[in-house]
Amino acid sequence: MTLHIFNPENDLALACPSPHFIPPASARQMADDLSALPVWWAMRGDAVCVASVEAARRWAEETGGICPEVKWVGRDGLPSDADVAPWGWSPLMVQRLLTGGADRSRLPDEARLARYRELSNRRHAVDMLAYLCGSGSDLGQKWRDRLCGVSYYCTGEQDIIQRMRQYPETLLKAPWSGSGKGLRLGRGGYVPPLSGWCGRQLREQGGVIVEPVYNKVSDFALEFYADGAGGVRYTGLSVFLTTARGTYAGNWVASEEDKVRWLTDRIPLLLWQMLKTAVTHYLADWLGNGYNGHLGVDMMLCRVPGAEYLCVHPCVEINLRRTMGQVSVDLASFLAPSSEARFVIDYEKEAGRLWSEHCRCEEAHPLCLREGKLLQGYLPLVPVTPSAHYRAALWVSPKGRRCPVV
């Protein structure tokens, strides 16, 4: 049996790696409201840790039989005989598991946690991008005119200033951060408050990543699983949308064939095949036996001045944890062959608004199943209560409509 836990504060906990780190209230609220989300990738008979066992059981019974059968457990009574699979690993996650009764021998030790954190540093995405676009890779040699992207890991203020001056507009990133919070636009030059933010990152995290801003057309990602023994397996393509601030907003849920067709309508098929192969091999060499679990590599389709075609930015981020893109890949298995869906995480500051919207959606878009698969309608992927501020939901529709997220 595997115990699944949704801990969306993982990236924040890596930025401040104390086992006693207290996540912001918004992250704690999201973890509570969406705690049942792992049921959609759990195996039958697994356990899922939730904020309310009673609410999870009642919701699962109301999903029309589509929800997998799992054991719901509370946070203070974790099974000690289970393997543990959180959203991501951090010292905070291990401390919570120990407090809840988990078996210490089944959890990563301090050395492995330190390795996970080091691998999660954004400077590794800088290295991966340079390799994929460079002449040292088959991908870079053959497709350099269809690739774009440069990124710099800076360890001093003068280095940051120099890189910012190279481009009309830049994006600056902290080595560790979560949900777009560690990003700053480099407009206006190296002046306060940006200079103060950079100085803080240099002192606390050792560096700042600087890269030009691209004319992005679409976001997508390649999802993988690392077995911890040097093997990396491609698990699927994810196509997603972001808000104007760059934070995650949703995913297109469809078959792998449909998503690959969408991508290869925009770039050559051979480029896609070589991209997937190159990234898989790079990850296997880089990770070795240092990481076991899901991960995703975020990419972009961009317009480049002077080019009549779209270019691929092959490594925007490396997310060394399960991702919402992987969730969308997992959700595709619940769809009827004739359907596609839009997967969305939404937020309302005022309690009660999501509940009202949830009730409206259930009435206006009733869920329809065919042979145990989702055919059409609205499906809340977690319990939605009057006190909820976050919701995960799926809107299912027949194929043939324009993809709702691209």
pLDDT tens digit string along 261-297? 999 999 999 999 999 999 999 999 999 999 999 999 9
pTM listed for this prediction: 0.95
Confidence of residue 51 (pLDDT cuts 50, 70, 90): very high
Q: Which strands sit side by side in the sheet containing 170-173, from one edge to the other? A: 152-154, 208-212, 170-173, 183-185
Confidence of residue 76 (pLDDT cuts 50, 70, 90): confident
| pLDDT, mean of residues 87-97 | 96
pLDDT at res. 365: 95
pLDDT tens digit string along 119-161? 999 999 999 999 999 999 999 999 999 999 999 999 999 999 9
Would you give the DSSP letter of residue 403? Answer: P
Would you give the DSSP letter of residue 147? Answer: B
Cross-strand pairs, 250: 241, 344
Confidence of residue 247 (pLDDT cuts 50, 70, 90): low
Cross-strand pairs, 161: none
Q: Which residue has the higher pLDDT, 381 or 182?
A: 381
Per-position DSSP letters for 364-401, written without gaps between them: HS--EEETTEEEEEEEESS---TT-SEEEEEEEEEBTB
Q: Please check the confidence at residue 207 and state whether its pLDDT lies above 50.
A: yes
Tokens linked to 221: 């990602």
pLDDT tens digit string along 52-73? 999 999 999 999 889 999 999 9
pLDDT at res. 273: 98
pLDDT at res. 77: 81
Per-position DSSP letters for 18-69, written without gaps between them: -TT----HHHHHHHHHTTTGGGGTSPTT-EEE-S-HHHHHHHHHTSTT-SPP
Mean pLDDT of the chain: 94
| pLDDT, mean of residues 311-324 | 97
pLDDT at res. 401: 63
